[in-house]
Structures are given as structure tokens and as C-alpha cells.
Structure 1
Amino acid sequence: MTRDDPLTVADVARLAQARLPKELWDYVAGGSGAETTLAANRAALDEVAVLPRVLAGVAAPDPGTRLLGSASSLPLAVAPMAYQRLLHPDGELATAEAAEAAGVPFVVSTLASVTVEEVVKTGATTWFQLYWLRAPGVVEDLVARAEDAGCEALVVTVDVPVMGRRLRDVRNSFVLPDDVVAAHLTGGGDGTASRAHAREAGTSAIAAHTAAAFAPGLGWSDLEWLRDRTSLPLVLKGILDPRDAVRAAGCGVDAVVVSNHGGRQLDGAAPSIAAVPSVVAALAGQAAVYLDSGIRTGTDILRALASGADGVLVGRPVLYGLAADGAPGAGRVLSLLAEEFRDAMTLAGCADVAAVRELSTVRTVRA
């Protein structure tokens, strides 16, 4: 990939789709059910219209900020995404390298195909994403590994009691190849991990694996236990209802991620951007608010912050870059988003991220 090739994330996505087998493209790009929430994420972002300020004297905006206390060159972190070695042999190491070069945090998944210890060695500011697992002691072990490796935050995903019914994967009888594993879950000895590699017609092997591995009964008491267990900043990912955001803050959570899991869990859930203003209002500064699901341009980042978010998590676009060209491809995506965000800041009359969050928005309905 050269600088003259892709000019937008959409361009990178087309490159990725051309290079991936259909079942892999479907796994990355697809959503759950009829994919109504997947589509709604994009439509709702497009309905957020920003009221730019003028005569602001802004020539060179500063997009830098702090996320959970760490400096970041953008109000952006790379979202947790599983099994990245499906898309490139370097997997999470390549995307972490791209995040480090871009100066933004990288969130490594419980289901990463590379261990957290290896990811931290890239030098990226690393957060660890935690799924709650059935196996006794494994959650505590993962927390300890994240702390010992030098992770700077824990991100607990709370919207996956079970995996949403992702029909593209079911129709493709999707299965992991033998050389791609959940690197943090290989020592269980109970055969659970092998389910991700067992093809059965009309089923998703990844869904079968998560059904066996994940604890569906995660509750507030578990979160309280975790808050007492670790001194790391704690983030809850998968919040849409402001009542849950307020309860999370009461449990000592440092940030919430307003997210519908990129349209991959409850089909029919609200678009993430639509939930941001009410969550921000309910929290009233008790915890930071980040947006996940649907960010594809620098203008989308501007929209998210103008709607009240403190930052965004970006997922699929980085995977598109990884599939297209490894670390350089993922880096190209992040540089495109940075360039677009700086341009949007200038055009909106914003010298810094604080000014972006002071912008007003209106909702438009597109025919």
C-alpha cells in the first residue's frame, strides 16, 4: 500500500475485501440478526450535523488529549478485536505497532491471537479487555497478567452474555484455522478452546466456543469484586442505558464505552451515537464517556465529541488496514483518521479537543 492508494477508510475496506476470502470478510464486516443495528450505526452518525464556529482564528488545531490519564495524540483508542492473526500473520502485533506509531492506546482482547505480554513489548500504550469466563480463577489470572505486563487499564465488555446470532458466520459454518488460537485461553485443559476449530455445518464455531467459555451471568457484584481486586482504571464497554452508566460510576468505574458492539450483539439495539447525550447527561462528569461502533471518518470523531463523548474507539477500520497491508495498512487508517479529524477541527473553528466538545449539533433526517 502506498500513500497514493487509499484516501479514505472506505478505500481501505475495498482493498481488504478484495484480498480476504468471503467467509473472513463476512466475519469482520458482518453484524447480528438482520444487521439493522449495524446499518443504524452509520445512518445515525450521518444524522448528526455539527454547527461550526467561525472567526475562531484557528490555523493549526491540536487533536491531542488524555485518555484515562495517558497522553494520546488523538481522542481515539484502537478497540479490542479478537483473532487478528486471521487477517495477517502478525495479527495484534501489527495493529499495536500501528497504534504506537500513531500515539494512541491499543486495547488487547481476551480473545487475542497474540498474548498481552507480547503486545506490551511493542511499546504501545496497552489496555486489556476482559470477558468474564466460566473457568474458576481464569478471570483473576487474566487480571494479574494484564497488571504484570504493564497494561494501563482494564476494559470489561458487558454486552456479551452470549454471542449474538451472526448469520453470515452461521451460513459460512465459520471456523478458526488450526494456527489461530485464543492465546490467553490455551491452558484450560477442558477442551473448550478446541470448539473454535471444530467445523459443523450450519453453525459458527466461534459462537460455540464462546458459549462454552463465557459466563452469561455477569452481574454488578462481579464488577464490585473486580474494582476491589485491581487499582487499574476500570472501563465498562457496552453501555447504552444511562441508568447502567450511573450504576457503573457508583461502582467506581472510571469510564464507560457507549457501544452496541458494532451491531454484532442485540440486533435492534439503539445506535451508539444516539445514546451518547443521555449517558453524558446522566453521568454529569462522574466518569469519562467514550463512543464505540460506526466510526469511519475524522468527521465522525468530531460528531462524537460534539455529542458529548470524551473520545472514541475504532475497530473494523483498523482491521481493514491490517488485512490490506499489515502494520503499514493499519497505520494508514489511523493517519487518515488523524488527517480528517484535524481538517474537521479547522473547518469547525476548534483549536483543541475541549473546543470540539463545546460545539453544538442538530439532528437531520436523511431521505
Structure 2
Amino acid sequence: MPSSWLAALEDEASKVLPAVFFEYFRQGSGDSVASTDAAAAWDRYRLVPRVLNDVRDVDLTGSFLGTPASLPIGVAPTTLQRAADPAGEAAMARACAGSGVPMVLSSNASTPFAEVAATGVRWWLQAYLPEERLLAVPMLEAAVASGAGAIVLTVDTPVVAAKRDGDGPSALTQVPPEWLRVNLGDAADAPKARDLGVRDIAWLRELTGLPVVVKGVLHPEDALRAADAGAAAVWVSNHGGRQLARAASTAGCLPGVVEALGGAVEVYVDGGVRDPMSALSALALGADGIFLGRSPLFALSVGGEDGVRRLFSEYADGLTEALRLAGSADVGDVRGLEVREF
């Protein structure tokens, strides 16, 4: 069971956020089937606990691209964080740095790379590539200069899907224009690439000298293509249900991707993970790391930097209990836990 604080987080955010921003954070695309079903998809899994094991000392240490983190959890890229809290990405970054977890910064962030880096957070840059690739070079070089540890190439957005904005104004029209193009430069108004291919993975590696994580993969064959092209990790994601409106759940797609890759590269997942038990299921199914998107945004809205810190603390407490009850003292051993689907 999630803590009462975690369970109430979205409702509490709805009370403090202007309606247009809450809806923007919460919404999916089209009929919102993919976004609505995301959390319930994890509920289909049941774990078979082991017993007669020493679980006095629990190790929650995770690893992202070979670097330890205090938890096997990170923050996924989201935009408009300054709509959640005036300090925006800087507050999110300070919370991540203080909690020992990585943060992925949206290329459409409203805070300069250098300000995020100054918090000491371990951060990666999420990037969309424009049709004219060279327009992205200044942004990518600036990220490298500011200490980005990886490039997260988002591959599920050849076009931006229509969202459910209802009858109200779009959130993007309610913020200062400069929030939406702080780091983008000439790529700000460029159309997204509709010709993305595996060659772009190698191009990014050569240009930046950084590992490339491919985000937005659901099919095992695409995961293999990405890994064969040199991706350092594959990120199972359906963009929070904000792209293809009836995309399959990440909970359902994760096992196939893990099996196909066979440990060749790290596998991450996001989408619908709202509590420690869902996180434990993801780990048991083979995820090396879990990224949270909406939950950190809502925590930032409710409590600022302290709210995000509390989010990680709640996950640490919940995972510790869940691991003990599952008969494991180490998150690294959870992959061997038997999982059944109902």
C-alpha cells in the first residue's frame, strides 16, 4: 500500500496549482486511454515472496550507467517546472542532489543548464532532434559544457500529439515565452525530425562524447536496434500517455524488452509508477532503474524542494518494507523474484 501522503499527492497538487497547469501536467493525448491505464497496468502483477532470508540490513542502492545512486529511481524530464514552483528545475535539482538520485532535464526546461549544474545534481539532457540536425548542436554543446552526464534521445515524438486541453486556455499560452526556449536556441521553432534513425545514436555519441540513452521504446525489436547502434541504455516509455493515445502500457512492454536485450544494456522504465510496490514490480521484471515524471512535479507543486525530498524519502521507506516482506535485502537481487500476471 502506498503511504497516505503518496496516495493523496495528485489531489493535493490539484488544490494548489492553477487549473490550467494541473490539467497540463495530468493530461494524456487523445482520449487519454494510455495515460489513464498506466498505473492500473502495474496492479496486474503479483510477487511471490521468498522467506528464511536475513533482511535486517536493506541496500537500496541503484545504478544508472554504472554510477551508484541512493535509490534505483530518478526524475524523468518534464517541462514547465516553474509553473509548479518559482524555482522550477533548480529546486528539483537541489532535491535530487540532496537525495542522491539523478535528474533528466528537459531540453525545453525553463532554467539554464548552468543553474541546474550548479546545484551539484547528477543530470542528463533529454533531447529532441530537429529535422535540421545542426540546429541542435549549440544546445548539445552547451549541455556538455555544463556537465551533462548523458544524452537521452526521445524517439517517440516525430510529431506532437494533440492533448486534451478541454475548454480552457492552453498552459503553454499562460507562461512567459522565455520559459520555453531558455536552452533551445535556434532549435526552438524547428520542426521535430520525422526521419529519426539508428544513425542518430552514433551521431550524438560522436558529437557529445557522452553515452546515449534511447527513450520511448516499447517494442523488443526496436530495443535491439537501439542497442546494436550503440545506445548505452534503453528507456521503456510511452511518453506518459501523451503521444500515441492508445499506446501499450510500459508495465506490459517491459518484460519483452528486458528478455530481448538479455542484459546487453541497462533498461529503464517510466509510466504509471505511483508507489513503492509498483517500483518493486518494475525491478522484479528486470528494470535497472525507474523514472518518475508526474509525481515529482506534483511533489514540487505541493511542497517545493522539500516536497520532492519527501517523495524520495517515502519511496525509500516503502521500498525498504517491501523488500523485507519479499525476502530480499538488496534491490539488486529483486530481478530473480517470481512475478505473476493476473
Please classify the TM superposition score into its range, dividing by the shorter chain length.
over 0.9
Counterpart of 2:236, as a letter, is V
1:177 and 2:175 are equivalent in the alignment? yes
Counterpart of 1:217, as a letter, is D
Counterpart of 2:183, as a letter, is H
Q: Where does the alignment leave 5 or more consecutive residues of structure 1 unmatched?
A: 1-5, 194-208
1:116 and 2:113 are equivalent in the alignment? yes
Counterpart of 1:159, as a letter, is D
Q: What corresponds to 1:318 in structure 2?
A: 296
Q: What are the Cα deviations for residues 143-191 of structure 1, in whole angstroms up to 9, with x where unaligned? A: 2112111111111111111112112267533324226333112x43xxx
Matches within 5 A, 1:59-78: 59-78=56-75
> For 1:283, which of 234, 241, 261 is the aligned residue?
261
What's the offset of the Cα at 1:236? 0.4
Matches within 5 A, 1:141-160: 141-160=138-157
> For 1:42, which of 28, 39, 42 is the aligned residue?
39
What's the offset of the Cα at 1:7? 3.6
Q: What corresponds to 2:220 in structure 1?
A: 242
| Contact 2:63–2:289 (Cα < 8 Å) also in 1 | no
* Separation (CA, whole Å) in 1 of partners of 2:27 and 2:166: 8
Quick one: structure 1 residues 183 and 135, their matched pair in 2 at CA, closer, same or farther if it must change by over 3 Å?
farther
Matches within 5 A, 1:230-309: 230-309=208-287
Q: What are the Cα deviations for residues 265-322 of structure 1, in whole angstroms up to 9, with x where unaligned? A: 1011110011111101111111110111111111111000101111101110000011
* Separation (CA, whole Å) in 2 of partners of 1:57 and 1:70: 27
Q: What corresponds to 1:226 in structure 2?
A: 204
Q: What are the Cα deviations for residues 186-223 of structure 1, in whole angstroms up to 9, with x where unaligned? A: x43xxx85xxxxxxxxxxxxxxx6xx542232222222
What's the offset of the Cα at 1:59? 1.4
Counterpart of 1:240, as a letter, is L
State the percentage of identical aligned residues: 39
What's the offset of the Cα at 1:224? 2.5
Moved over 6 A (4+): none
What's the offset of the Cα at 1:55? 1.4
Matches within 5 A, 1:133-212: 133-134=130-131, 137-168=134-165, 172-174=169-171, 175-178=173-176, 180-185=179-184, 187-188=185-186, 212=190
Quick one: structure 1 residues 228 and 169, their matched pair in 2 at CA, closer, same or farther if it must change by over 3 Å?
farther
Stretch moving more, 139-148 or 352-361: 139-148
| Contact 1:158–1:238 (Cα < 8 Å) also in 2 | yes
* Separation (CA, whole Å) in 2 of partners of 1:122 and 1:228: 27
| Contact 1:106–1:125 (Cα < 8 Å) also in 2 | yes
The number of residue pairs the alignment matches comes to 338
| SS of alignment partner, residue 183 of structure 2 | helix
| SS of alignment partner, residue 336 of structure 2 | coil
Counterpart of 2:38, as a letter, is N
Q: Where does the alignment leave 5 or more consecutive residues of structure 2 unmatched?
A: none
1:95 and 2:73 are equivalent in the alignment? no
* Separation (CA, whole Å) in 2 of partners of 1:249 and 1:272: 18
Relative to the length of structure 2, the TM-score reads 0.94
| Contact 2:111–2:179 (Cα < 8 Å) also in 1 | no
> For 1:20, which of 7, 17, 22 is the aligned residue?
17
Counterpart of 2:121, as a letter, is A
* Separation (CA, whole Å) in 2 of partners of 1:251 and 1:17: 42
Relative to the length of structure 1, the TM-score reads 0.88
| SS of alignment partner, residue 137 of structure 1 | helix
| Contact 2:131–2:195 (Cα < 8 Å) also in 1 | no
Matches within 5 A, 1:125-136: 125-134=122-131
Counterpart of 2:279, as a letter, is I
* Separation (CA, whole Å) in 1 of partners of 2:168 and 2:203: 39
| Contact 1:262–1:294 (Cα < 8 Å) also in 2 | yes
Q: What corresponds to 1:337 in structure 2?
A: 315
* Separation (CA, whole Å) in 2 of partners of 1:135 and 1:279: 31
| Contact 2:28–2:163 (Cα < 8 Å) also in 1 | yes
Stretch moving more, 132-141 or 251-260: 132-141
Stretch moving more, 263-272 or 133-142: 133-142
Two-structure CA RMSD over aligned residues (Å): 1.7
| Contact 1:23–1:169 (Cα < 8 Å) also in 2 | no
* Separation (CA, whole Å) in 2 of partners of 1:331 and 1:148: 27
Stretch moving more, 20-29 or 219-228: 219-228
What's the offset of the Cα at 1:248? 0.5
| SS of alignment partner, residue 313 of structure 1 | strand
